[in-house]
Amino acid sequence: MYLLTGIYLTLIFISMYFLFLFSLLFFRNRKEMFNDKKSTDFFPRISIVMPAYNEGKNIGRTLRKIRELEYPKDKLEVIVVDDGSTDRTSEIVKKFKEVRIIRHEKNSGYAAIPINTGIDAAKNEIVAIMNADSYPEKEALLYMVPYFKDKKTGAVTGAYLAKDPKTFLQKLQNFEYRIIAWNRKLLHFLNAVYVTPGPLSLYRKSVLLEVGKFDEKNLTEDIEIAWRILKYNYSVKMCLSAITYVETPDTLRKWWKQRTRWNIGGMQTLGKYKRFMFSRKYDMFGVFVIPLFLSFMIISVFGFSVISYIFTSKGLFLESTIIKHIATSSKIFPGELNILLPEMFVFFGLLMLIIGIALFYIAIKDFNKYSKYTKIASISGAAYNLVYHILFPLVFLHSIIRLVKKDRRW
Amino acid sequence: MVKSQKDVFWKAAILTIAVFSLGMFIGYSFERGRVFEIEEDYNIMKLRQIDANLQTLYYNNMVIQDSKFCEVAIDENIKFADELYEEGVKIERYLNANKITKDLLINQKEYILFKTQFWLNAISLKKKCYADYVNVVYFYKQKSEDFDVNTDQNVMSGMLFEIKQGYGPEIMLIPLAVDLNISTIDIVVNQYNITEYPALLINEETVMQGLHNKNEIIEEIDKFL
């Protein structure tokens, strides 16, 4: 029992530290969170690279969205890399005369390969990598480019929201993506943005070439490239005003598949860079980003395991007691149903829950105040915390099993 | 920009240490509070136990002329038995809740010794005063790792409490933990050949091992009333 208490208290301490860290960052930088400046006089040339594999359903809509972008058209080039599609992807793209298409005859199986093809073909210094099912807001590029005035900026990423969330799962993801964007903005203030997601991220081409472009074998090439950029001492910026809408999985099965891929890719990346952990030579990357990533994984697995063990064992005990009371024709006293005496586990758990919910509530209020974001109910936070969060450790455990079995099918 | 924000790391660390320490202190205070509560109760019980011992010595050595003596003595013993039982339940609950300090275990042993002594008093008093209450000794394991034994004991505790509420002063309920290395209890367990827990010893005659239906237990008790 002392071992369990020790593990629990260690997890609580680590979780509490990160909770206070993010809280301090937030309250210090609250005014800056949505304070991105739209570019009025700085319009670097941008090459938009779009890898595509059987995206016939979405790519037309995405290319039309690119046409609507409020950015000087003579400063944009669009390159679609068709990675061996067997549907009408190429046919649809050819209808857009301003788009250059490069075709791979055979599907490479990895997202990074067509991206690297596009980078090589790009003529401009700023390269925007965009998914074929992304729908950026018109002003997205205008908000992102000012960050490149800083020569140390290697990449800029934006906020991704769910496009037309219909199912309960999609609505939970819509909430989740806001929290992710919020977290990422806080990390921006520490130069610790550790991912440049595929829907829309901008890179300095010279930096991409210097760091060696995208890792062609990594399942989450967007995490891995961000880590590499940080390792080379460039910064990755986060722009909450640059919004891109993305298609989200509408069924649990699709969601599970997506998250398994994200987890496996994350663990691959961690494995690749673990030797730089705590290395001060790499500044925030070594000292903070890698330990943060690892801590989240450990807390996810161990925290879930400990809490599951406690509630499952107490729950099973209670269930068995009730059944036996019925079998022996004896009364159940209310005191027997009280499985939560005021003890340390409960005190710390409640404290973390209250602080976490308060922080979520304030963050959502801020999002709702900012006109670019459609309002969502704070009550979503309850469903998110109580229902959605439970899934994360489960999919993570599944990902570990697949990684151990070397099953990296995507 | 980055340099000016790095102070959040040590500020967050200080805040975490402060809150965590406060939480540990509050948790420890709760637990110590429980220990103090039990220790205070114990001091009161100790005096009551000495008093009960003196009573036993008195009625063992004196010829009892006045029947009122027996009434008072029996009444006092029943009250004492109920208080001992409730105290035992409280200690068990606190033992399960306390995560840092396990000092309550020592108190628990002392209470078991009290209860054993009390039981022997009850037997003597019965003989001397021709009392008709029924002694129900409940044997259980304090430190069992067996899920079934623990749930059976949990149910049995509640069931006995319910039965005691029904019978009032007609039964003396005495729970005794068998795995705390108390030799007197080991002797009793061996004498009655008790191997399965929870177990009941009714009026030093009938043994019921394992979890039984409430009505079966009532039936056995009624045979002595």
Confidence of residue B98 (pLDDT cuts 50, 70, 90): low
In which band, very low, low, confident or very high, does the pLDDT at B52 lie, cut at 50, 70 and 90?
confident
Q: How sure is the predictor about B27, in pLDDT bands with cuts at 50, 70 and 90?
A: confident
Whether residues B98 and A343 touch (CB distance < 8 A) is answered with yes
Average pLDDT over residues B27-37: 79
Q: Which residues of A touch B11 (CB under 8 A)?
A: 24
User: pLDDT category, A43, cuts 50, 70, 90?
Assistant: very high
What value does the mean pLDDT take over residues A281-295?
90
CB contact under 8 A, A348 and B23: yes
| Mean pLDDT of all residues belonging to chain A | 87
Determine the distance in angstroms separating the CA of A118 from the nearest CA of chain B, rounded to an integer.
Answer: 32
Question: A320: nearest CA in chain B?
Answer: B151
Asked whether the beta carbons of residue B100 and residue A5 sit closer than 8 angstroms, the reply is: yes
Q: Is the pLDDT of residue A358 over 50?
A: yes
Q: Give the best-scoring range by mean pLDDT among A210-219, A225-234, B70-79, B120-129.
A: A225-234
pLDDT tops 90 at residue A114:
yes
CATH number belonging to the domain at B132-225, selected among 3.30.70.20, 1.10.645.10, 1.20.120.720, 3.40.30.10: 3.40.30.10
| Chain A residues touching B214 at Cβ < 8 A | 328-330
B150, closest residue in chain A (CA to CA): A317
The answer to whether the CB atoms of B99 and A1 lie below 8 A apart is yes
pLDDT at site A256? 93
Q: Which of A21, A336, A348 lies nearest to residue B12, judging by beta carbons? A: A21
pLDDT of residue A142: 96
**Residue A378 scores a pLDDT above 70:** no
**Candidates B15, B23, B211; nearest CB to A328:** B211
Residue A280 at interface with chain B, using a CB cutoff of 8 Å: no
A-to-B residue pairs, Cβ atoms closer than 8 angstroms: 108
Q: Cα–Cα distance between B189 and B208 in angstroms, integer?
A: 12
Q: Taking the domains of chain A in order of start, what are their residue ranges?
A: 2-28+290-404, 35-287
**What's the CATH number for A35-287?**
3.90.550.10
Q: Collect all residues of chain A within an 8 Å Cβ-Cβ radius of residue B30.
A: 342-344
pLDDT at B64 over 70: no
Does position A390 have pLDDT exceeding 80, yes or no?
no
pLDDT: is B98 or A232 the higher one? A232
Upstream peptide bond of A51 is cis (omega within 30 degrees of 0): no
Whether A25 has its CB under 8 Å from any CB of chain B: the answer is yes
> ipTM score of the complex?
0.81
Q: Does A331 reach chain B within 8 Å, measured CB to CB?
A: yes
Which amino acid, residue A89?
Answer: T
| Cβ–Cβ below 8 Å for A13 and B16 | yes
> Which of B93, B158, B214 lies at the smallest CB-CB distance from A341?
B93
- Contact flag A343-B97 (C-beta cutoff 8 Å): yes
Average pLDDT of chain B to the nearest whole number: 82
Radius of gyration of chain A (CA): 23
**Between the ranges A66-75, A401-410, B21-30, where is the mean pLDDT highest?**
A66-75
| Beta carbons within 8 Å of A38's beta carbon, 6+ residues apart | A139, A142, A143, A146, A241
**Crossing angle between the packed helical segments A304-327 and A389-404, to the nearest 10 degrees:** 110
Q: Where are the domains of chain B?
A: 8-131, 132-225
CB B212 to CB A336 under 8 A? Answer: no
C-alpha closest to that of B129 among B83, B51, B60, B76: B60
